Amino acid sequence: MSDKRQRARVQGSWAKQLPKNTRPSEVPNNQPKNANSAPGSWGCGPQKTPKTFEFIQPTKLIREVPPEKVIENAGDHEISCCPSGVSRLRLLPGFLPQEEADWMFSKLFAELPWSQKTNYRQGEAYEEPRLTCWYGELPYTYARSTMAANTQWHPLLLTLREAVEQASGCRFNSLLCNLYRDGYDSIGWHSDDEASLGPKPTIASLSLGDTRVFSLRKQPPPEENGDYTYVERIRVPLSHGTLLLMEGATQDDWQHQVAKEYHDRGPRINLTFRTIYPEPENHRPGTKLRFTAKQQ
Ligand SMILES: O=C(O)CCC(=O)C(=O)O
């Protein structure tokens, strides 16, 4: 065999010829296998490796991320019970029969005055990744931007409000409509906890169109400094015609979102019926309820 063919080929060039009788994985007998190479090559000499190993009990508890729960079944679901109170979801899939829901979706999609709202975060403007419209005798401010009062309720929305009020046993004077044009439209983590919604609001959320996942995550305790890594999480797939009620302390103790989905999703309309009260005096509109005491 020629001298050339005995050499190893390394990344397209011929490697330097190895000393005779030394395979690449071998080290000379007088050095420990895992010691660094001879002084000079890496700037430090051979190191001593401990011969015995001692098990040291970790002082920190190993924390596990709780598995995400899924709520799909109709009925009342108590999701937490904290000092602030019980948080409860009521899920009514098929609240609207399929054919009615199909017809309502087409009508609302075509006839509501949808527009894209500009919000502000740390002084920076951004366009909401969805379209919205607002109904109510009072304006609604969130994310430092206000939706003007609008008393021109679409007749179909008045019919739906009545049906939702009957099912929930609550009265609603306002409605925030969301249109997710496709899977890229979304709403980020938030709670519906502006002072104008009052304490422990019931929010009734009616979904039409393609199914999207409504996610909830528990507020972390203060010692976690806003870290949501280990909090409880819940997924609620909201399908065409489903009514979801968020009740009790849900807005105090949980956040919710509809995340982007990076696969084909058709349009979806979400109607969130609420009761709005006049903004408390001496407060900037849109202030979160938990900050109102501090501002007074
Ligand atoms: O689209 C949804 O299901 C949620 C909408 C929502 O969170 C909101 O309007 O505050």
The CB of 194 under 6 Å from ligand 1? The reply is no
Task: Identify the pLDDT of residue 280.
Answer: 74
Place of tokens 């009265």: 171
* Distance in Å, CA 112 to ligand 1 centroid: 17
Task: Identify the pLDDT of residue 45.
Answer: 53
The CB of 271 under 6 Å from ligand 1? The reply is no
The CB of 133 under 6 Å from ligand 1? The reply is no
The CB of 142 under 6 Å from ligand 1? The reply is no
Say if 32 falls within a structural domain: no
* Distance in Å, CA 14 to ligand 1 centroid: 64
Task: Identify the pLDDT of residue 296.
Answer: 41
Task: Identify the pLDDT of residue 24.
Answer: 41
Which residue among 145, 197, 214, 271 has the greatest number of ligand 1 atoms within 8 angstroms of its CB, and so is best to mutate? 214
Q: What is the CATH number of the domain that holds 152?
A: 2.60.120.590
Say if 78 falls within a structural domain: yes
- For 233, list phi and psi in degrees, rounded to 5: -135, 145
**What are the per-10-residue average pLDDT scores of the chain (296 residues)?**
46 45 43 43 56 79 92 98 96 98 98 95 92 96 91 98 98 98 97 94 98 98 96 98 98 98 95 92 76 55
Q: Domain residues for 163?
A: 74-295
Question: d(Cα 83, Cα 210) in Å, to the nearest integer?
Answer: 37
What are the residues facing 142 on neighbouring strands? 145
Residues 236/75, Cβ–Cβ less than 8 Å: no
Task: Identify the pLDDT of residue 238.
Answer: 98
The CB of 250 under 6 Å from ligand 1? The reply is no
Longest dimension (CA), the chain: 95
Task: Identify the pLDDT of residue 48.
Answer: 64
Say if 286 falls within a structural domain: yes
Residues 270/205, Cβ–Cβ less than 8 Å: yes
* Distance in Å, CA 214 to ligand 1 centroid: 8
The CB of 255 under 6 Å from ligand 1? The reply is no
Say if 259 falls within a structural domain: yes
Nearest alpha carbon, ligand 1 atom 8: 272
- Concatenating the DSSP letter of every residue in 54-107 gives -----SSPPP-PPPPEE--SSEEEEEEEETTEEEEEEEETTSS-HHHHHHHHHH
Task: Identify the pLDDT of residue 62.
Answer: 84
Say if 11 falls within a structural domain: no
The CB of 174 under 6 Å from ligand 1? The reply is no
Task: Identify the pLDDT of residue 295.
Answer: 43
Ligand 1 atom nearest 207 alpha carbon: 3
- For 204, list phi and psi in degrees, rounded to 5: -110, 120
Say if 117 falls within a structural domain: yes
The CB of 187 under 6 Å from ligand 1? The reply is yes
Task: Identify the pLDDT of residue 33.
Answer: 43
Tally of domains within the chain = 1
Say if 91 falls within a structural domain: yes
pTM for the full predicted model: 0.79
Which residue among 134, 205, 217, 271 has the greatest number of ligand 1 atoms within 8 angstroms of its CB, and so is best to mutate? 205
